Amino acid sequence: MGTHQYTVHVDQRGRLVLPAGIRHQLGIEQGSTLIMAMHEDGMLRLIGPGEAARRGRGLLRELAPNATMDRHLAEELIAERRIEAEHE
């Protein structure tokens, strides 16, 4: 998805109306929550729900110690269950 420019208008209450094509591409529906970021140069960036979720999944990973980043929890659980089964 390349860069596209759209003209939007601000109403009397300060609301912007996003073109239907943008809403559809980003999965924005009535009541959706977006993240708006304002850059130093005055540029605004809207982040849709899907992108916000993808970014959110990585937040805690950055806080975890490096040793846990490469762990495969499902494989560890299976290995633990096999050991438990052997001891039964």
Strands (E) across 1-88 are located at 35-38, 44-47
Q: Which residue, chain included where needed, has tokens 């850059």? A: 39
Tell me the domain boundaries of the chain. Answer: 34-86
Q: With cut-offs at 50, 70 and 90, classify the pLDDT of residue 23.
A: confident
Nearest CA to 23 among 15, 31, 13? 31
Q: What percent of the chain is predicted at pLDDT more than 70?
A: 83
Over range 1-22, report the average pLDDT: 87
For 49-77, what is each residue's pLDDT tens digit? 777 777 777 666 666 665 555 567 788 88
Q: With cut-offs at 50, 70 and 90, classify the pLDDT of residue 22.
A: confident
- What pLDDT, on the 0 to 100 scale, is given for residue 4? 82
In one-letter notation, the amino acid at residue 43 is M
